[in-house]
Structure 1
Amino acid sequence: MTDAPPRFTASRALIRFLRTETVGGTALLVAAAIALIWANSPWSGGYLHLGEIHLGSDDWSVFGQSLHLRLSLADWAKDGLLAIFFFVAGLELKRELVVGELSTLRGAALPVLCAVGGVVVPAVIAFTVARDNPHIGSAWAIPIATDIAFALGILSLIGSRLPSGARVFLLGLAVVDDLIAIAVIAVLFAGDLRAGWLAVAAAGCALYWFGQHRRISTPFLYVPIAIVVWVAMLQSGVHATIAGVALGLLTRVKPDPGEHSSPAERLEHRIQPVSALICVPVFAFFASGVAVNGAVFRELFTDDLALGIMIGLFVGKIVGISGASALAVRLRLAERPEGLVGRDILALSVLGAIGFTVSLLVAELALPADEADLAKAAVLLTSVVASVVGSLLLLRRGRVHAHP
């Protein structure tokens, strides 16, 4: 009996990815809700203290230089656990580009163009609205990201009556969107670059690729390499999560003849549940605990940066994604997935306004602590509104498709 062709393998992996992300979106929502309730309760001091607990040691050194690995729990979640999330994102991106829906020009054109529109328009709006804010030079990137787990989770729960092309389109859009956000993080938030550590990270990545090329499968090779690459990236001045993306993109996604599944599929099967159910919810728990009261709500609608984030994320994503789709179809640069019409794309574009994970990360990287809390409140409020509005639109479109 012959093994399944790559396209079948990719479809099976896609189904498993969607199921896990649906559950992961629920876990993320629960973690964020617990953080918000705790941070606004009489016991908020305990929440703040928990995030500031430090683990690790500064005694570890290489070539006489301390590795500075004594981090707070919140930093371990941001720099450590999110690296695992970005590794899974790298695997998913590589699979989609090589054997998935983005592997052909016809399949990739619309999601790619819509993702670009959904990044450029929010960034322009945020920059325009908050142009006088001293932090806008990096904060414009906060509203550019779409949260895969939340968006796919809502689509799976609410949009089951839509054609299957809706899931493919949204996944492709979110994957390309994440790739752009990853590139922005790597460039915009690089500190003082250290060439020596970058060389160590590059050497580790090269060794990882060589192991994949030689079909070596033992974790006793790859786990130490991953740790070394992560530590080197952390020390290099480039954000540590980029280590996860780099290794994910270097993983082989096509199974060899006689091979039941590719390394990327096996790793995604093992690691994605950990990412979706532990890594992302834990990060959301530490990132979402912001004060929400009358004063904060007033500031959300008077502070230029908060307004830029909210308008950019909600209006920018909807206009950028649906506008790029309409323009691409009119100019015959791309075609909509079979069964979808312009109003379906509009409903899906609202889900693109659910920022959450990457937007919260960018807020923490771009802003000082006091302004980051207000920016994160803006992201959370906008994501909730987008979730509700998107769900209502999907229900409406689902009824239309069920009774044409």
Structure 2
Amino acid sequence: RVASSGVAFGYEKNLVISTVPVSQRALLARHVAQVADSDVGLREIRLGEERFLTTSVRLSSRNAPQVTLTFLKSFDEATAFLQNVDRWIVAIGVAGVVAGSVLIFFVSTTFTNPLSRLVAGVQALERGDFGYPIDLRGSDEVSALTAAFQRMRQTLQDAQRRLLDAERLATIGRMASTISHDMRHPLTAILAYAEFLAERDLTDVQRNDFFQEIRIAVNRLMDEINSLLGFSKQSDALRPAYGRADTVIDRAVKTVKALPEFESTVITFTEGQECVGWFDAAKLERAMLNLLFNAAEAVPAGSGTIDVSCRISHRGTEIRVADNGPGIPPEIGANLFQPFVSHGKEKGIGLGLTVVQNIMQQHHGEVCVESTGKDGTVFRLFFPAASSSDSARTA
């Protein structure tokens, strides 16, 4: 066999010798006898059940007896070879798929899944969840990275806890200092006037004056205690109901107008339209009273003016409180809504604006300083219109 092909030699159209099996030589001899002198092209023949592709070459000259060489290539052998190749390809493909699956499973188990859990832990930490479970099993680089993240998370949690404790202690200290400072003056006045009342040579008018001063000092103490109580109750559940905000605002304005110390202050309420919405009436009135008290204490005595306005839109309800006071001092502007921040106030302990901010946040709204300066200050309150689901839930 030459190049996996069969050969056959013919002489004068007779088969002399061939490499094909004996059972196929008789049929091959017929083919050799049919080969013409010029027939050297490719032909397809069948020897029994097997098909061959043949070509013949004349080896002798034209004047000499005809000697031919015939090459035969079996289709069945080629088909068997191709089928064998196909089987090998399929086997290699299946082995590759299995090996790839094993490799993917190994990579997923060793790297991808731990990294996904680590990413989930980082996202949970971003949301403030320090207790998100993290798998620390394993001894590879990903496990070492996860363990380092766990240590960092624990360190961060400890630092945050210490910071909160320090801030809480600082707040308590600031609160104690503010409360003691604000309560010392009325207590000193009460003690002094009580000592005056102990004297026997007082007239009735003097005694009444001393009693009046003691009453004023006690009222100041009660106001400060009420401020603390209001601050402690700011987290009470919101009870929104559909109503008229202008009615609540008008009631707060009349309350402030009725106080003797503010009788010279001109307070006006401008109603552009019926101001309605979903809100907690009690908390909104408390917020308005705090803003009005601050404005009334800030405006100049005898010429102070405060203008309150309310309007509604598709976005929600907007309330403005404008005064002609000297403006907010720059040193407290950045911390204006922090607890116990005040400047030059005779009453209160600096909780009013903090309460206002918390009430507006409970309404998913906001309070801000729209403008401030030597010509006055404008506070803006806004709370959005309730959605239909909110309305149905609170109805």
Select the structure with the greater relative contact order (CA < 8 A; seq sep ≥ 6): 1
The structure with the largest strand share of the pair is 2
TM category, shorter: under 0.3
Calculate the TM-score normalised by the size of structure 1.
0.23
Calculate the TM-score normalised by the size of structure 2.
0.23
The structure with the largest helix share of the pair is 1
